[in-house]
Amino acid sequence: MRVLVVEDFEVLARSIGTGLRREGMAVDVVLDGTDAVARLAGTRYDVVILDRDLPGVSGDDICRRLATDRCDTRVLMLTAADTIEDRVDGLSLGADDYLPKPFAFAELVARVRSLARRATPPLPPTLSCGDINLDPARRVAFRAGRRLELSPKEFALLECMLASPGVVLAAEELLERVWDEAADPFTSAVKHTVHRLRAKLGDPPVIETIRERGYRIGPS
What CATH number is attached to the domain comprising 45? Answer: 3.40.50.2300
146 and 55 together in one domain: no
The total number of structural domains that make up the chain: 2
189, pLDDT greater than 60: yes
pLDDT of 132: 94
7 and 91 together in one domain: yes
Residue 108 CA, distance from chain mean position: 13
Q: pLDDT class for 123, splitting at 50, 70, 90? A: low
CB 5 within 8 A of CB 49: yes
65 and 146 together in one domain: no
122, pLDDT greater than 80: no
Q: What is the 3-state secondary structure (H, E, C) of the chain?
A: CEEEEECCCHHHHHHHHHHHHHCCCEEEEECCHHHHHHHHHHCCCCEEEECCCCCCCCHHHHHHHHHHHCCCCEEEEEECCCCHHHHHHHHHCCCCEEEECCCCHHHHHHHHHHHHHHHCCCCCCCEEECCEEEECCCCEEEECCEECCCCHHHHHHHHHHHCCCCCCECHHHHHHHHCCCCCCCCCCHHHHHHHHHHHHHCCCCCEEEECCCEEEECCC
135 and 70 together in one domain: no
101 and 185 together in one domain: no
What CATH number is attached to the domain comprising 206? Answer: 1.10.10.10
187, pLDDT greater than 80: no
Q: Could you tell me what percent of the chain has a pLDDT over 70?
A: 89
pLDDT of 1: 82
99 and 198 together in one domain: no
Mean pLDDT confidence for 17-28: 90
d(CA 158, CA 141): 9
Mean pLDDT rounded to a whole number for the chain: 86
Q: Phi, psi at residue 97, to the nearest 5°?
A: -155, 165
**Among 9-23, 28-42, 82-96, 200-214, whose mean pLDDT is lowest?**
82-96
2, pLDDT greater than 70: yes
Pairing relationship of beta strands 74-79 and 97-100 according to DSSP bridges? parallel
Mean pLDDT confidence for 9-18: 94
Mean pLDDT confidence for 191-195: 92
Say what the pTM is: 0.65
Given 65, 93, 119, the domain boundary residue is 119
64 and 155 together in one domain: no
Q: pLDDT class for 10, splitting at 50, 70, 90? A: very high
Angle, helices 171-178 vs 152-162, to 10°: value is 120
User: How many CB atoms neighbour CB 165 within 10 A?
Assistant: 15
pLDDT of 183: 63
14, pLDDT greater than 90: yes
Q: Can you give the residue range of the structural domain that contains 203? A: 127-217
Q: Give the Å distances, CA to CA, from 38 to 44, 87, 103, 205.
A: 12, 26, 28, 41
CA nearest 129: which of 178, 170, 164? 164
pLDDT of 211: 86
99 and 9 together in one domain: yes
> Residues 39-92: pLDDT tens digits?
998 888 999 999 988 999 999 899 888 888 767 889 999 877 666 676 667 677
